[in-house]
Amino acid sequence: MKCDLCNNPSVVHEVVIKSGVTTEVHLCSEHAAAKGYQVPTAPVKQLLAQFVGQTPTIHVTTRRDAIGQTRCPGCGLTFSEFRQTGVLGCPGCYEAFMPQIGAVIERAQAGAVHHVGRSPLRTEGVADRAALRQRLLHEINAAVAAEQYERAASLRDQLQSMGESGTA
Amino acid sequence: MRFAEKSASAQVGPQADVVVSSRVRLARNVAGFPFVARSSDLQRQEVMQMVTRAPLGNEFGSGLTWVNMSQTTPLERQLLVERHLVSRHFAESVIPRTVGVDTEETLSVMVNEEDHLRIQTILPGFRPVDAFNEARKLDVAMEATVDFSFSTRWGYLTACPTNVGCGVRVGVMLHLPGLRYTGEMERVKRAAKDMHLAMRGFYGEGTEAVGNFYQVSNQLTLGCSEDDLIRRFAEETVPHLVDYERSARAMLAENNRPLLDDKVHRAVATLRAARLLGAEEATKLLANLRLGICMQVIKDVELELVQRLLLQVQPAHLARIDPAATDEDKGRLARASMVRLALRG
């Protein structure tokens, strides 16, 4: 989206609804600074990347590197590295390497593909928190893609307030 | 570092004629951290702190004594391996790691082995259910303060996907000389493979079955509950193997008595007369003496003494009794002397 006052891309977006009338403001960094808006120094994506970096077991999507190698976004392990050592890098690898890892497990576990048995006493909490974290991360991504930066920041605050525990 | 007077692996328990000991191991990982191999030393230390500071409650009496492996001597590490309290891999590793051991040495927790936690119980004789219940008790106590990596689909998430699910490995150390001397061992190994059982040597993966001691454990950890897994192992798998070994021994006594007598008496004579004994040779001879006692060929030696000697002839245990025994030749001399003295008729 372009700045209301010039052709540069806008970085500040404001929607004001007053007496039923909606006014939208879209400004580039220069015009936003001139009008007294606080301009973000780092893009939200960068902010998000920094946050995701702090929680290596949480990831949004599986990455593929230059040679098309599946790489766990949580710990950076590639599937071929796993095949060499037989050891995964983090809990997130289980999701990152699907469906290959599912086939490995199925072979090793005589066809079993689902856990049957006890769960940690606090599993429900852990599982719920992990699911919520994943959902929040997806929503943050969607908000950033739609340039809803205030919403993204608010979601990020929610995610941070959950603490570090709870992975799936 | 202090050790219990009697290691669980040096005692005699139920069905001791075939089952030396029962062991259960639970694999767990702390949520929010990469697995051990991919963790930084700082993260490994953080996990160590979380686990060692977790309050365990009154059920565990004086609790666990935590031994920082980086501060142990090579001799102490070898002692821990010989007492089956830590794996060889854990003893030889160089990353920050610690092991917690209870006063009876039936319970141990390795922190930063392949997984963040390896909770292990070892009991003399055939007691897999008791071993599981003990391990589970500690698991539950840990869970009160530590979140473990878990997914509803895969269960407890482990570094190696072959352990995923309930993360339970239940095993027994079996003495199978009957099957070996009647030529049935290969058939047993094939049957074990078909039953998804792992058969390993005296000190686990990659080690030899010295003295015809085999560690037998489950390979499947996904798709069946812990209770079913333990029940099947305790009520079907192991009794089947124990019966097979007993039948083989009976067959040996009936069809090839001279072979049995020769193996046993040759072992006793050597143990009572040898002036130099290596650890492996001593283990093999004591194993045949063990067979002789269980088959009532030898009646003047207690099984418990043999079980104790099987531990004491190992290199680190010998070196603890006689520091000069770290030298191989002196060790052979000291070992032979100790065994002669213990078996003096």
Instruction: Note whether residue A131 is domain-resident.
Output: yes
**B268: pLDDT strictly greater than 80:** yes
CB atoms A164 and B32 under 8 Å = yes
* pLDDT on residue B281: 96
Is the domain of A131 the same as that of A148? Answer: yes
Is the domain of A69 the same as that of A93? Answer: yes
CB atoms A126 and B31 under 8 Å = yes
Instruction: Report yes or no: A74 at the B interface, CB cutoff 8 Å.
Output: yes
Is the domain of A55 the same as that of A102? Answer: yes
Instruction: Note whether residue A126 is domain-resident.
Output: yes
Mutate to test the interface with A, among B93, B113, B119, B151 (most CBs of A within 10 A): B151
Whole-number Å distance between alpha carbons of B249 and A160: 65
Local structure of residue B221 (DSSP, 8 states): -
Residues 173-232 of B with CB under 8 A from A: 196, 219-229
**A89: pLDDT strictly greater than 60:** yes
* Helical spans, DSSP H, in B144-196: 177-181, 185-194
Is the domain of A77 the same as that of A104? Answer: yes
Is the domain of A48 the same as that of A103? Answer: yes
Beta bridge mates, B298? none
Which of A8-12, A51-55, B55-59, B121-125 has the highest mean predicted lDDT (pLDDT)? Answer: B121-125
Is the domain of A24 the same as that of A55? Answer: no
Residue B322 vs residue B295, higher pLDDT = B295
Instruction: Give the number of residues written for chain A.
Output: 168
Is the domain of A63 the same as that of A89? Answer: yes
Local structure of residue B30 (DSSP, 8 states): B
Instruction: Note whether residue A158 is domain-resident.
Output: yes
- Which residues constitute the domain of residue A73? 44-108
Domain count, chain A: 3
Quick one: CA torsion of A160, A70, B115, B163, rounded to 10 degrees?
120
* Partners of residue A166 in chain B, C-beta under 8 Å: 31-32, 147
Whole-number Å distance between alpha carbons of A78 and B175: 43
Is the domain of A57 the same as that of A99? Answer: yes
Evaluate if pTM is beyond 0.80: no
**A136: pLDDT strictly greater than 80:** no
Is the domain of A20 the same as that of A52? Answer: no
Residue where a domain terminates, one of A108, A130, A147: A108
Is the domain of A101 the same as that of A132? Answer: no
Instruction: Note whether residue A116 is domain-resident.
Output: no
Is the domain of A130 the same as that of A90? Answer: no
* pLDDT on residue A132: 62
Instruction: Report yes or no: A83 at the B interface, CB cutoff 8 Å.
Output: no
Residue A91 vs residue A128, higher pLDDT = A91
Whole-number Å distance between alpha carbons of A90 and A77: 9
Distance from B32 to chain A by nearest Cα, in Å?
Answer: 6
Instruction: Report yes or no: B144 at the A interface, CB cutoff 8 Å.
Output: yes
- Give me the domains of chain B, ranges plus CATH numbers: 10-247 (3.30.590.10), 257-343 (no CATH)
Instruction: Note whether residue A22 is domain-resident.
Output: yes
Instruction: Report yes or no: A98 at the B interface, CB cutoff 8 Å.
Output: no
The pLDDT mean for chain B works out to: 93
Residue A14: half-sphere exposure toward Cβ, Cα within 13 Å: 14
pLDDT in tens, B114-168: 999 999 999 999 999 999 999 999 999 999 889 999 998 899 999 999 999 999 9
Q: What is the ipTM of this complex?
A: 0.88
Whole-number Å distance between alpha carbons of A87 and A99: 17
Whole-number Å distance between alpha carbons of B340 and B230: 41
**A168: pLDDT strictly greater than 60:** no
**B21: pLDDT strictly greater than 90:** yes
* Partners of residue B145 in chain A, C-beta under 8 Å: none
Beta bridge mates, B26? B119, B168
Q: Find the helix or strand (DSSP H, E) in which B81 lies.
A: helix B74-82
Is the domain of A7 the same as that of A36? Answer: yes
Write b or e for each residue in B298-314: b if 16 or more Cβ atoms lie within 10 A of its Cβ, otherwise e. beebeeebbbbbbbbbb
Query: Which residues touch B297 (CB under 8 Å, ≥6 apart)?
Result: B260, B261, B264, B265, B291
* pLDDT on residue A46: 46
**Residues B175 and B58 sit within 8 Å (Cβ to Cβ):** no
* pLDDT on residue A117: 87
Three-state SS annotation for chain A = CECCCCCCECCEEEEEEECCEEEEEEECHHHHHHCCCCCCCCCHHHHHHHHHHHCCCCCCCCEECCCCCEECCCCCCEHHHHHHHCCCCCCCHHHHCCCHHHHHHHHHCCCCCCCCCCCCCCHHHHHHHHHHHHHHHHHHHHHHHCCCHHHHHHHHHHHHHCCCCCCC
Q: Find the helix or strand (DSSP H, E) in which B337 lies.
A: helix B328-342
Instruction: Note whether residue A84 is domain-resident.
Output: yes
**A130: pLDDT strictly greater than 80:** no
Pairing of strands B213-218, B98-101: unpaired
* pLDDT on residue B65: 92
Instruction: Note whether residue A57 is domain-resident.
Output: yes
Instruction: Tell me what the mean pLDDT of segment B213-238 comes to.
Output: 95
The token duo for A41 is 């120094």
Instruction: Note whether residue A129 is domain-resident.
Output: yes
Whole-number Å distance between alpha carbons of B218 and B228: 12
User: What's phi and psi for B5, nearest 5 deg?
Assistant: -60, -40
* pLDDT on residue A17: 60
